[in-house]
Chain A
Amino acid sequence: MNAHTRRRIRRTIRRLPGDALKLAVVLCFVFPFYWMICTAFKPYSEAISVPVTFWPRTFSLEGIASILSARSVDVMQYLMNSVVITFGTIALQMVIMIPAAYAFARFEFFGKNICFALVLLALMIPGQITYITVYLTMADRNLLDTLWPQILPFGANAFGIFLLRQGFKQIPEEIIESAQLDSASQVQIVMQIMVPMCRSVLLTIMLFSFVSSWNNYFWPLVMTNSEKVRPLTMMLVRVLDSELGTRWNEIMAANLLIVLPVLGVYVFTSGRIIKAFTYNGIK
């Protein structure tokens, strides 16, 4: 054994207590999700048995089956609504965001700063202040209890406009000028040069929108009443209120439906998501 290996082994041993503690801390953050999955695959009798089992003694699909069988709730409807709301929001945001970011990044016009200040204001003002008026507006237009009040209020994604503007600004002027010499139209410049060059920023924004839209709880709660238009996040309370008492294995099975898509996306894009969420343009 040479000196180098010996040093490495010694270092590993010295680090062992710290690393073990680190793993224990990591466990605190991950275990609740494991516990959700574990409970979802237990039969009800085992979920509430003592002593607690950390691995399903009898592996059972009882919870998942009863959620999917639509005995008490129509899961497919909830799932459809979530999907439509999420992708509708992302699509609407893109249509609004791309031209706005292009204008803020590339043009000089009177009132630009005021308009941009409005974008920044939207970043600061929480939904808890604005939803009362939005509710009344939607009521006026007979749009309450539809999918619209869950999509439209998020149409202008202030954070996205902000981020995409930075991205557009970084594209060298020469590229656009040479395209203009080739008599490319404004639409062509945006769609064929700028958008493809900012693919990664756009993907980041989309991931961000996906997570916040999929997880939205407050707006559906306020704006809707009926199961027909409510997203998955509204389903948990319905499962909880089942007449059979608190069936925790069913609740966790339902929860799995909300959590798994996001966890799945995270597993594949963790680096990008972390970058997207920790980017806040400070400094």
Chain B
Amino acid sequence: MMGEKSVRRLAAAGAVLGLLLMLAGALLIKLSSLSALPDHALLRGVLAGRKVILILGAALTGASVYAGNIAVQGRRRLSGFFPYLLILPAMIFLVLFVLYPILNVIYMSFFKGSVLNPTKSFVGLKNYMALANKSAFIISVRNTFFYAVFFVSLVVLFALLMAVWLFDDRKLNKFAQTAIFTPHLIATVSCAFIWRWIMDFNDYGLLNTVLGIFGVAPVPWLESSKTAMWAIIIMNVWKNIGYYALILIAAMKSIPAEIYEAAILDNASRTKRFFRITLPMISPQLFVTLILLTIGSFNVFDSVNAMTQGGPGSSTEVIARFIYLFAFGNANSLGQGCAAAVFLMSIQLVLTAAYFRLLARRVHYQ
């Protein structure tokens, strides 16, 4: 009789193999619908067996899960296959709307095609090569990085400041916390339109009127390619400070008071307490905040689309808008849009990995 552990391991290996076979079968079925395929004896043979491969994979997965489940549940609760039934709807939705779309976007990025015929012809890496030479893409990447750098650093800076400033348990602080959080709940489009109105360049524009009181000359916020991206950054920073400040306040609340009391007994100054106690103690949350903000900043779309539509000129074009315009806009540029989407996903992955490598060891876990 085999031990429970070895059965589980065997079943896991079988399930992985089965899933891979299913994936291969599905890919072959997709490929077989392509018109221009190289005529090769081996390829023809594999293609002929595509359904067999798919069914074999499904059978192997099913059998492995069956065996594995009996091994797992052996001596514990005998719920049989009831839990699979419970998670089935969720899994179907996640596969259909998350997992499959990711894989498919990678797949489509190797083809030239349009919305009507996404995989018209296989072009290998040509879509990626084309992107590297496309000035519209380069500009959108540069703009997105510009936006991300300033958006992330300004939000982190101001959120930290606000968190320290509004930390104490006072009525005024509670009220201020509630107030600065408000923009986070409001639709980005709504905020974008409010700020468009506030930043209006005509004499009745509110922001320029207020700045005028302080003697600042009118700024052509959304009308000039020099300031348009800053206008978008200001709007988004304004919208997000409150949320991240509250996350950091929640983190600071969990720091034991004794640590501060000990530091005060040691005559540690306020700044010293902040840098030596507060900052290290909230570093896990700060770290996660930084990752979430960075990933999010590369997806910027709503605010740009509602405030400037990428203009003036192409001064506020960003990657997400490039994908949107190329995937559905031009004829036969769907593949390039997909390649840009894969590129976007890769940037986010690489940056997350970089944060982990560079910062994770500085994060202090209690």
Contacts and interface: CB of A to CB of B under 8 A. Distances in A.
A255 B194 CA distance: 8
Interface stretch (A43-51, A59-67, A70-78): A43-51
Contacts of B204: 47-50, 52
B101 A29 contact: no
Given A100-B90, A283-B254, A259 B186 contact: yes
B72 A39 contact: no
A99 B86 contact: yes
A129 B344 contact: yes
Nearest to B158: A25
Contacts of A270: 178, 181
Given A136-B115, A155-B97, A217 B187 contact: yes
Interface in B240-276: 241-243, 246-247, 250, 254
B90 A96 contact: yes
Nearest to A221: B305
DSSP majority for the A interface? helix
A110 B71 contact: yes
A205 interface: no
B223 to A, nearest CB: 13
A134 B194 contact: no
B87 A217 contact: no
A133 interface: yes
Q: Which of A32, A102, A161, A248 has the most CB of B within 10 A?
A: A32
B289 to A, nearest CB: 9
Given A30-B179, A277-B243, A215 B197 contact: no
Contact of A35 (B198, B285, B337): B198
Given A29-B183, A48-B204, A128-B299, A96 B93 contact: yes
B141 interface: no
Contacts of A97: 90
B100 A132 contact: no
A165 to B, nearest CB: 11
A115 B295 contact: no
A277 B301 CA distance: 22
Interface in A73-125: 95-97, 99-100, 102-104, 107-112, 115, 118-119, 121-122, 124-125
Contacts of A214: 187
B288 A215 contact: no
Interface string B112-128: 00010010000000000
Interface string B66-84: 0011011100110101111
B182 A263 contact: yes
Given A22-B176, A32-B195, A108-B77, A156 B93 contact: yes
A251 B94 contact: no
Given A22-B172, A29-B242, A156-B94, A263 B186 contact: yes
Interface size class of B (residues with CB under 8 A): 35 or more
B105 A133 contact: yes
Contacts of A26: 175-176, 179-180
Contacts of B142: none
Contact of B79 (A30, A36, A39, A109): A109
A204 interface: no
Nearest to B64: A110
A33 interface: yes
B72 A109 contact: yes
Given A30-B182, A255-B194, A236 B306 contact: yes
B355 interface: no
A266 B187 CA distance: 13
Given A22-B172, A155-B97, A135 B328 contact: yes
A109 B238 contact: no
B178 A134 contact: no
A255 B177 contact: no
A259 B183 CA distance: 10
B185 interface: yes
B98 to A, nearest CB: 5
Contacts of A126: 295-296, 299, 348
Contact of A122 (B85, B86, B98, B105): B98
B118 to A, nearest CB: 6
A36 B299 CA distance: 27
A1 interface: no
B97 A132 contact: no
Contact of B65 (A110, A135, A158): A110
29 contacts: A26-B179, A29-B241, A30-B179, A48-B202, A50-B203, A95-B89, A96-B90, A96-B93, A103-B83, A110-B11, A110-B68, A110-B72, A112-B83, A119-B94, A122-B98, A128-B323, A130-B102, A133-B100, A133-B101, A136-B104, A156-B89, A215-B185, A215-B189, A217-B302, A233-B190, A255-B190, A255-B193, A270-B178, A283-B285
Interface of B: 8, 11, 15, 65, 68-69, 71-73, 76-77, 79, 81-87, 89-91, 93-102, 104-105, 108, 115, 118, 162, 165-166, 172-173, 175-191, 193-195, 197-198, 200, 202-204, 206, 209, 238, 241-243, 246-247, 250, 254, 284-285, 288, 295-296, 299, 301-302, 305-306, 320, 323-324, 327-328, 334, 337-338, 341, 344-345, 348
Given A156-B93, A282-B285, 5 more contacts: A39-B197, A109-B79, A111-B69, A156-B89, A158-B94
